[in-house]
Amino acid sequence: MSAFVQSATRRPVLMSARIWLALLIFAGFAALPLIAALTDDPFLMLIGTRILAYAIAAMALDLILGYGAMVSFGHAAYLGFGAYAVAILNSYGVTDLLVHILFAVLLSAVFAAITGAISLRTRGVYFIMITLAFGQMAYFFFVSLSAYGGDDGTPLQSRSTLFGRDALESDLVMFYVALALLIALFAVATRIVGSRFGRVLIGTRENPVRMEAIGLSPFRYQLTAFVISGCMTSVAGVILANQAEFVSPAFMSWHRSGELIVMVVLGGIGNLTGAIGGAVVALLLEDWLAMLTEHWRLLFGVFLILMVLYSPHGITGALERLKGARK
Amino acid sequence: MTTRTKLLASTFAVLSTTLPAGAQELPSASDGVLKIGLVYTLSGPAAALGSQARDGFMLAVNQIKEVGGMPTEIIIVDDEQRPDLAADKARELVARDQVDFVVGPIFSNILGAIHKPVTETGTILISTNAGTSSYAGAECNENFFVTSYQNDQNHEVMGAYAEKQGYQNVFLMAPNYQAGKDSLNGFKHSYTGGVAGEVFTELGQLDFSSELAQIAAFQPDALFTFMPGGMGVNLVKQYSQAGLTSIPFLSAFTVDETTLPATQDAALGLMGGANWAPDMDNAANKAFVDGYLAAYDAVPGTYAMQAYDAAQLIDSAVRAVGGDLSDRAALRAALHKAEFDSPRGDFSFGKNNFPIQDFYLVKAEKRDDGKFQTAIVEKIFDDYKDNYADQCPM
Amino acid sequence: MTNLFILQLLNGAQLGVLLFLIAAGLTLVFGIMDVINLAHGVLYMIGAYLIATFAALTGSFWAGLLLMLPAALVVGLVIERLVIRPLYARSHLDQVLATFGLVMIVNEGVKMLWGTSPLSVPMPELLNGSIPLIGPLQYPVYRLAIIAAGLAVAAGLYVVVNHTRIGMLLRAGASNREMVSALGVDIGKLFSLVFALGALLACFAGAIVAPILSVDTGMGESVLILTFVVVVIGGIGSIRGAFLGALLVAVVDTLGRTFGPIVLRSVMEPAAAGQTGRMLAPMLVYILMAVILFARPQGLFGQRTS
pLDDT tens digits, one per residue of A269-304? 998 999 999 999 999 998 889 888 878 889 999 999
Q: What is the pLDDT of residue B23?
A: 36
Interface of C with B in 263-282 (CB under 8 A): 274, 278, 281-282
Contact C116 B48 (CB under 8 A): yes
- Please, are residues A242 and A168 in contact by the beta-carbon 8 Å criterion? yes
Measured CA to CA, the distance from residue B209 to residue C212 in angstroms comes to 10
Minimum Cα–Cα distance from C125: chain B residue: B241
Minimum Cα–Cα distance from C281: chain B residue: B202
Q: What is the pLDDT of residue B229?
A: 79
**What one-character DSSP code corresponds to residue C123?**
P
C214 vs B51, B241, B262: nearest CB: B262
Residue C105 belongs to a domain: yes
* Environment class of C49 (CB within 10 Å of its CB; exposed 0-12, middle 13-18, buried 19+): buried
Measured CA to CA, the distance from residue C104 to residue B48 in angstroms comes to 18
Residue A95 pLDDT exceeds 60: yes
Interface of B with C in 148-187 (CB under 8 A): 176
C-alpha distances out from residue C213 to A38, A50, B63, Å: 54, 37, 37
Residues in B whose CB is inside 8 Å of some CB of A read: 1, 5, 8-9, 12-13, 15-21, 23-24, 42-43, 78, 81-84, 87-88, 91-92, 95-96, 108-109, 112-113, 115-117, 132, 176-179, 181, 203
Residue B11 belongs to a domain: no
Neighbouring subunits of B (3+ Cβ pairs under 8 A): A, C
Residue A48 pLDDT exceeds 80: yes
* B309 and B227 in a common domain: no
* B158 and B143 in a common domain: no
Handedness of CA C270, C275, C278, C280 (dihedral sign): negative
* B313 and B262 in a common domain: no
Residue B27 pLDDT exceeds 60: no
Q: What is the pLDDT of residue C261?
A: 75
Residue C279: what residue type?
A: M
CA distance B227 to chain C (A): 13
DSSP element (H, E) containing C98: helix C92-114
Minimum Cα–Cα distance from A260: chain C residue: C97
* B249 and B114 in a common domain: no
Percent pLDDT > 90 in chain B is 66
Mean pLDDT score across all residues of chain A: 90
Question: What CATH number is attached to the domain comprising B71?
Answer: 3.40.50.2300
By residue range, what is the domain housing residue C269? 14-121+141-295
A contact test, residue of C30, C94, C225, C252 with most A CBs within 10 A: C94
Q: B215-218 long-range contacts, Cβ below 8 Å, gap at least 24?
A: B215/B171, B215/B173, B215/B244, B215/B247, B216/B242, B216/B244, B216/C7, B216/C136, B216/C137, B216/C138, B217/C3, B217/C4, B217/C7, B217/C136, B217/C137, B218/B169, B218/B171
- Banded pLDDT at C237 (limits 50, 70, 90): confident
Measured CA to CA, the distance from residue B388 to residue B153 in angstroms comes to 11
Residue C187 belongs to a domain: yes
CA distance C95 to chain A (A): 8
* Environment class of B169 (CB within 10 Å of its CB; exposed 0-12, middle 13-18, buried 19+): middle
Contact B243 C8 (CB under 8 A): no
Mean pLDDT of B260-269: 88
Residue B125 main-chain phi, psi, to 5 deg: -110, 125
Minimum Cα–Cα distance from B107: chain A residue: A152
Measured CA to CA, the distance from residue C300 to residue C306 in angstroms comes to 17
CA atoms within 13 A on the CB side of B336: 15
Contact B216 C138 (CB under 8 A): yes
Locate all alpha helices (DSSP H) within A39-152, ordered by sequence.
43-68, 76-91, 97-119, 124-143
C-alpha distances out from residue A91 to A49, A82, A308, Å: 23, 15, 45
Measured CA to CA, the distance from residue B338 to residue B340 in angstroms comes to 6
- Banded pLDDT at B202 (limits 50, 70, 90): confident
Query: B269 CB contacts (<8 Å, ≥6 apart)?
Result: B245, B249, B363, B364
Handedness of CA A298, A300, A302, A305 (dihedral sign): negative
Residue B10 belongs to a domain: no
- Please, are residues A202 and A9 in contact by the beta-carbon 8 Å criterion? yes
CA Rg value for chain A? 19
Contact A244 B96 (CB under 8 A): no
**Chain A residues within an 8 Å CB radius of B226:** none
By residue range, what is the domain housing residue B258? 153-274+360-390
Measured CA to CA, the distance from residue B137 to residue B149 in angstroms comes to 13
Residue A306 pLDDT exceeds 90: yes
Handedness of CA A145, A150, A153, A157 (dihedral sign): negative
Mean pLDDT of B60-76: 93
CA Rg value for chain C? 20
- Banded pLDDT at B12 (limits 50, 70, 90): very low
* B157 and B144 in a common domain: no
* 3-state DSSP assignment of residue A21: helix
pLDDT tens digits along C136-145: 677 888 989 9
Is the Cβ of C195 closer than 8 Å to some Cβ of chain A? no
Q: What is the pLDDT of residue C136?
A: 66
Minimum Cα–Cα distance from A5: chain C residue: C91
* 3-state DSSP assignment of residue A165: strand
DSSP element (H, E) containing C163: helix C141-163
* B198 and B133 in a common domain: no
Measured CA to CA, the distance from residue A150 to residue B182 in angstroms comes to 11
**Chain B residues within an 8 Å CB radius of C221:** 45
Contact B113 A46 (CB under 8 A): no
Query: A217 CB contacts (<8 Å, ≥6 apart)?
Result: none
Higher-pLDDT residue of A146, A275:
A275
Q: What is the pLDDT of residue C95?
A: 93
Complex prediction ipTM: 0.89
Query: B31 CB contacts (<8 Å, ≥6 apart)?
Result: none
Q: What is the pLDDT of residue A326?
A: 58
* B314 and B197 in a common domain: no
DSSP C234-258: H-TT-HHHHHHHHHHHHHHHHHHHH
Under CATH, what is the fold of the domain A2-326?
ABC transporter involved in vitamin B12 uptake, BtuC (1.10.3470)
To the nearest 10 degrees (0 to 180), the angle between helices C187-209 and C2-33 is 160
Minimum Cα–Cα distance from A158: chain B residue: B116
CA distance B199 to chain A (A): 15
B contact test, residue of A25, A39, A291 with most B CBs within 10 A: A39
* B381 and B266 in a common domain: yes
Where does residue B74 fall: left (phi above 0), alpha (psi -120 to 50 degrees), or beta otherwise?
beta
Q: What is the pLDDT of residue A144?
A: 84
* B373 and B288 in a common domain: no
- Number of domain units in chain B: 2
Higher-pLDDT residue of B214, C94:
C94
pLDDT tens digits along A197-219: 999 999 988 887 888 888 888 89
Minimum Cα–Cα distance from C107: chain B residue: B44
* B242 and B291 in a common domain: no
Bridge partners, residue C215, by sequence: C119
To the nearest 10 degrees (0 to 180), the angle between helices C239-265 and C284-295 is 120
Report the 10 Å Cβ neighbour count for A96: 15
CA distance C240 to chain A (A): 18
Minimum Cα–Cα distance from C16: chain B residue: B207
Residue B317 belongs to a domain: yes
CA distance C192 to chain A (A): 19
Q: What is the pLDDT of residue A325?
A: 66
Contact A301 C278 (CB under 8 A): no
Query: Per mean pLDDT, which range of B21-25, C102-106, C119-123, C202-206 is the poorest?
Result: B21-25
Domain ranges of chain A: 2-326
- Please, are residues A259 and C96 in contact by the beta-carbon 8 Å criterion? no
Q: What is the pLDDT of residue B378?
A: 94
pLDDT tens digits along B330-372: 999 999 999 999 999 999 999 999 999 999 999 999 999 999 9
Mean pLDDT of A9-28: 76
Mean pLDDT of A143-164: 87
**Chain C residues within an 8 Å CB radius of A131:** none
Percent pLDDT > 90 in chain C is 52
- Please, are residues C245 and C227 in contact by the beta-carbon 8 Å criterion? no
Residue C168: what residue type?
A: M
Is the Cβ of B48 closer than 8 Å to some Cβ of chain C? yes
- Number of domain units in chain C: 1
Mean pLDDT of A29-41: 91
Q: What is the dihedral of CA B242, B243, B244, B247, to 10 degrees?
A: 170
Neighbouring subunits of C (3+ Cβ pairs under 8 A): A, B
CA atoms within 13 A on the CB side of B74: 19
**Chain A residues within an 8 Å CB radius of C294:** 118, 121, 130
To the nearest 10 degrees (0 to 180), the angle between helices C239-265 and B209-218 is 40
- Please, are residues B95 and A43 in contact by the beta-carbon 8 Å criterion? yes
Mean pLDDT of A94-99: 95
Q: What is the pLDDT of residue B4?
A: 32
- Please, are residues B227 and B251 in contact by the beta-carbon 8 Å criterion? yes
Bridge partners, residue B258, by sequence: none
Is the Cβ of C5 closer than 8 Å to some Cβ of chain A? no
Residue C1 pLDDT exceeds 70: no
Percent pLDDT > 90 in chain A is 65
**What one-character DSSP code corresponds to residue B197?**
E
**What one-character DSSP code corresponds to residue B14?**
H
Residue C70 belongs to a domain: yes
C116 vs B51, B176, B201: nearest CB: B51
Q: Which of A110, A48, A94 is nearest to A234 (CA)?
A: A110
User: Chain-centre distance of CA B138, in angstroms?
Assistant: 21
Report the 10 Å Cβ neighbour count for B348: 14
pLDDT tens digits along C9-66: 888 999 999 999 999 999 989 888 889 999 999 999 999 999 999 999 999 999 999 9
Q: What is the pLDDT of residue B44?
A: 73
Question: What is the end-to-end Cα distance of chain A in Å, rounded?
Answer: 35
Query: A162 CB contacts (<8 Å, ≥6 apart)?
Result: A96, A97, A168, A173, A177
Q: Which of A60, A57, A99 is nearest to A80 (CA)?
A: A57
CA distance B89 to chain A (A): 9
Residue B138 pLDDT exceeds 80: yes
